[in-house]
Amino acid sequence: AAWALAPCRACPRGLLLWGAFLGFHAGSGTHGSEIVKGISYGPVPCIQGPPTPLCVHQDDFMADDAKPLWGARFRGDLQVMKALGANHVRLYGNNPANSHANFLNEAAATGLKVIIGMSDYPYTQAADNCGFTTGFDCYSQVKAQYLENLKKGLLVDGRYNPALAEVIVINEPDLKLPGIDQPKGWTKGIISAIDGMLDAEKEMGVTGPLVNFTATFSFGVCGLCEAIKDQLGLTAGEAPPPGLGQMAELRAAMLEPQTMVGYTPKNNLAKFYNERFSNSFNTANPAKDIATMFMPDYITLFPSVPVSIQEYHKPDLAMSQEADLKEIVKLAEDTELLRGISFFEFQVRYDKGGTEADFGMFGLSDNFTFATWTYFGDEVHAFCLTPVYDQSGKPLSSAVAAAFGGPGVDYDTLCIPDPAKVNLDQVGMVQISAQGSDSRMAVFVGRVVKHMGGMTQDQSGLVATAQPFVGSVGNGTARSFQELVDELGKYPSWASWDAEATCSADRNALAGQVAVEFGWVCGHFAGLNCSDIPAQCTGDIWTQADYMFSMYYNENGGNPFKNCFFGGTAIFENSMTYGAISSPCLVSKNPLFSALTNDGYQLVLSNKDPGQTVLYMRRVAIELGGQVTDEAAAEALGAAPPATLALLEAALKEGAWVCGLGGGLACPTTVTTTPLPTTLAPTGAGAVPAPTPAPWKPPSSGAEGLDSGTPLVMYVGIGAVGFVAIAVVSTVVASVLNARAKRQKRDRLRSRSPYDGGGSKGSDSSSVESGSDADALEGLVKRGGGGAEGGGAGESVTPQIFLDVPPFAVGPGTSTSLYPAAPVSEVTPAPYDSAFAVSSATSAPLGFSASPPTSFISPASSAASLGMGGGSFANAAGGRHLAVPPASPAAPGQRRSRPQTPQMQQQRPGAPQGRRPGVNRASSGGGSSGGGHGVRSGGSVGLLEVAAMPLSPESMLDSVQPMLGFSTTPPAVGLPAQTFGGGPAPFGAGRAPKAPVFGAGRAP
C-alpha cells in the first residue's frame, strides 16, 4: 500500500476515504467525504460600539481567559456551533504567550476541527515587524512566533494536536504587505513566513501527519499580477478574475522564490506547495458569483490545489440567506477542489459599529450572563446570545443550520439558566425548579448523580426522582438541595455507583478558580505539603489539582459536596469518566488510572485484590521501560506485593520475568502478554451495600471481575489486507468516474457565465476598521490619559477573579451560608463546612499566579495610545486616488471630527447613485488573522478597496477611526519600541509621524 502513503493532490475521494480508514496520511489534496462547514469566531464581549471605548485589549479568544465564552460549563459557543451543523471553527487573534491546548481539546471533544490564524503582530505591529523593517522578509519574526505556538498547545507529544485542521499564515496579505498593487512585497512576506514556520517545525521535531498551511487572500482584483495573464489569455491592461491573480503570483514565488522575489529559502518551498499548501480567500459575494466568476478559471489554473472560503456571507442578499448558503454548500459538494466555507460570523461585532455589525448571526443580551470574569485584566461579561434575523425575517443561525444539516438551537433557552451549567447547589436548583420542566430538572439531577460517582442507567428513574423538585419553590412545597443529595445517597437502583470514584479537577471550570481552590487545599491539608507534589504532577494547574483534590478526599471522605466540591472546581467522578482525561495524577483505587506514586500504589493495595495489583504492577513496569513476560510470576508477586512503590520498582528491575530492565533480557520486537483492559466495570446497582447513615460514604464494594481481553492483531491484519484489496478496485473505478465528472462539472461551470474580463466584479461588501478586515480585533490597548487620544500611559490593571453565582455550602450539620461575588483578594478564607471560601494566598508553591496575566506586551501597564495624522488612500484596482486630509485635533479624551471629502461617483450600469463597482470588502491594516498583542490598530493602512459602498466622508473613514494605532500615512520605519510601554506616545499627542514617505495620491 505504498501508494496510500505518498502525498496525493488529486486523489479520488474513494481513495482518500480508504486511506483514512486504513490509517494512512493521504496528503492534503481534496476534502474527501466531508466538506468544511465552518464558522468564523471572534467573540469580542463588548456590547456597546463606538464611541464607547473597547472593553478588552486583547483578542486571543483561544486562550483560557476566554473560556466563559466557549466553555461547556459557561456560554458554550462551541456547542452552539456544533448544534448548527458546523464541523470547523475559524479563529483570528493568536497571542503565542497564551496556551491554546484547552481550546483545541474542548473543540475536539465537541466534534469540531480548528483553523487558526497567525497574528498580524510580526507582520505589521511589532517594532521590528517585517512589513517595514526587514523588507518583507518575515522569516525570523514569524518563526519565533510559531515556535511559541507549537510549544503552547499546537503539539501533543511532538505531533500536531488532532483538533488542528489548518493554519492561516496570514489573512488578506494583499491588503497589508503593503497593498494589492505590490505583489512582490506580499508574496515575499508569505513565502518567507512559511519558510520560518517549517524551520520551527524542524526545531520542535514535529512528527506524524502535518497540517496544511494557507494564505487567505481578499476577493480583490490584482491588476498588476502578471503570472496569470498568459494562462488566461488576457490582453495588456486586462485584469484577472478576483482572487486568482494573487494565488497565481504566490504559486510562482513558491516555485521560483529567488527568480520571482529575490528570496533564498532554507526549505524546499516547491515541495511544500505541492504537498501541504491550499488556497483560500474571503468574500462577501453570493454563491452564484463564486460559481461563475471564480471556480471555472480556478479549476483550469489549479487543477490539484484545494481551495476554501475562509469568510463567506453577503448580508444584503435579495434572495434568502438559507437558499444562498445551501447553494454554496452544494457547489462545494459538487466541486472536488472547493473544500468548503466558513460562515462569517458567529457574533455581532458591536465594537466595530456601522455596516461591520451586519455580519454576526447572534447578538448579545445583558438580560442574562453566564459569567462575570477577568479577561486579561479587563472585567467582562459572558452575555447570553440572541438570534439575528435576515431580510426574510428568519434567524441567520437557522439558515446556517439548514445549510449545514444541524438540528439548530432552542432560542427560548439561550437566555435562561441552563441545568447543564448552573451551580450544583441550592441556588442552581431553585433556578431550574422555577422553569417548571421535568426534563430540565432531570438534567440537573443527572449532574448531581455524576458528582456522587454514579452513572444514570434508567432515564425514567432519573425523571421520577427529579419530578418532586420541579416548581417546588413556587407551590409552597419547597424541597432543598440537601434533600436531593440525601435521597441520592441511598443509591437508587436506576443508577450504577462506582467504589473507585475519585475527586478530580473539573476541566469545565476556570483555571484561575481552580488555582485559588488548590491554594485553599494547600493551606488546609495537614496530611500533605503542596511542595511535595510528585514531579509528574507539576506540569499545570490541572494535574496539580488532580493530585491534591484526590488526596484530600481520600483522607477525609464523606459527602462529595463537602469534601470534593471546592467552589464548583472539582468533581467526584466515576472511574469510567475520569479515565478518559488520562491524568497521571489522580490517586484512586482503580489500578488502571491511579497515579504511579506511592500514594496511588497504597490505595490500589487497599482493594486487597491480587488481580488489580498485577494490573498496577504492569503499568509500573511499562513506565520503567519494561514488559511483563511471565504472567504466572507476576501473579505470584501480586499475591504477596511489596510494601512500597520503591520496593515494587526494585523487584521489577531484578525480576527475570520482566524484559527490558536490569534483571531480564532485552524485550523482543513483539511481546506476547495479556493486554491491559481499558476500563473496569463500575459497581452495579445490585452490588451496592446498604448505605451508612452518617457520615456519608461511597460504596465499599470492589469492582466486578476483569476480562483479560482478546488480542486483535490477527483480525486487524486480515481486515486491513481485505480493505486494501477493495480499495485498489474502488480506486480504479472511482478514477474513471471522477475524471468524467470533473470534465462535466468544468464544462457546466464555464457555460454558466464566463468571466467577461472587464472591470472588477467582486464583493458587494462594506468597509471595515483599520487593523482588522471583517472580524478580528487587532491588538487592542487601553487608551492613555493625555493628548488627543494618546500621549499618556494606559492605566495599570490588577486582574481579579469574580464568582458569577455565590458558592453555596451544603453538608451535614452545616448552615447554608452565602456571600456576594467579590474579588478573590477581598474574600476572607473560611472552613468549607461554613462556606466555600476562596483565597489567593499560598500561590508561592504553585509556580504561577492564581490571577491571569494582564497583557502580553506590558505586564505592568497597558500601552499608550497613539495619535492619528493625515494620509492618502489609493484604489489599486482602478488606479484612482483619493486624498484624505488629516483629521482635526480633538480635546483629550474626545473623538476627532472627521474631514469632509467629496464623494467619488463612478457608476456601473444599473448601480445606485453614489456607488461604484466593488472589488473587495474594503480592508486596511491589521487583518482578521490578527490579534496583535498591544496596539489598537493592525498595521499600515493598506490599499483601500472600496466595495460598492456610498463614498461619503463618514463611510470612507469608517476604516480610519481616530482609534488607529498610528497615522493613516504609513511611517517609513517600524514603530518605536516605546509603542508598547507607558509614557509618551511615539508620535506625540495626536500628531502624525515626521517625514512621511508617501506623498498625496501615491499608493503605499
Tens of pLDDT, residues 86-123 = 999 999 999 999 999 999 999 999 999 999 999 999 99
Averaged pLDDT of the chain: 71
Q: What's the whole-number mean pLDDT along residues 678-689?
A: 42
pLDDT of residue 7 exceeding 60, the answer is: no
pLDDT of residue 687 exceeding 50, the answer is: no
pLDDT of residue 723 exceeding 50, the answer is: no
The three grid cell numbers given for residue 810, joined into one nine-digit string: 451544603
Residue 768's closest CA among 486, 351, 429? 351
Q: Please return the burial class of 735, using the count of CB atoms within 10 Å of its CB with bins 0-12, 13-18 and 19+.
A: middle
Instruction: Determine if the pTM surpasses 0.85.
Output: no
Residues 6+ apart with CB under 8 A from 263: 137, 188, 191, 192, 195, 253, 257
Identify the pLDDT of residue 411.
96
Identify the pLDDT of residue 185.
96
Identify the pLDDT of residue 676.
61
pLDDT of residue 890 exceeding 80, the answer is: no
Residue 682 near residue 498 (C-beta atoms within 8 A)? yes
pLDDT tier at 149, thresholds 50, 70, 90: very high
Q: Please return the burial class of 624, using the count of CB atoms within 10 Å of its CB with bins 0-12, 13-18 and 19+.
A: middle
pLDDT tier at 969, thresholds 50, 70, 90: very low
Q: What's the whole-number mean pLDDT along residues 150-170?
A: 96
Identify the pLDDT of residue 701.
33
Residues 6+ apart with CB under 8 A from 433: 441, 469, 470, 471, 472, 473, 479
Residues 6+ apart with CB under 8 A from 164: 104, 113, 114, 116, 154, 211
285-294, 561-570, 695-704, 864-873: the lowest-pLDDT one: 864-873
23-37, 131-145, 232-246, 307-321: the lowest-pLDDT one: 23-37
859 alpha-carbon distance from chain centroid: 24
* Share in percent of the chain as helix, strand, coil (round to 5): 35, 10, 55
Residue 686's closest CA among 868, 814, 497, 848? 497
Q: What's the whole-number mean pLDDT along residues 25-48?
A: 76
pLDDT of residue 879 exceeding 90, the answer is: no
pLDDT of residue 495 exceeding 50, the answer is: yes
pLDDT of residue 586 exceeding 70, the answer is: yes
Q: What is the CA radius of gyration of the chain?
A: 31
pLDDT of residue 959 exceeding 70, the answer is: no
Distance CA 694, CA 710 (A): 43
- Give the three-class secondary structure for 251: helix
- Give the three-class secondary structure for 283: strand
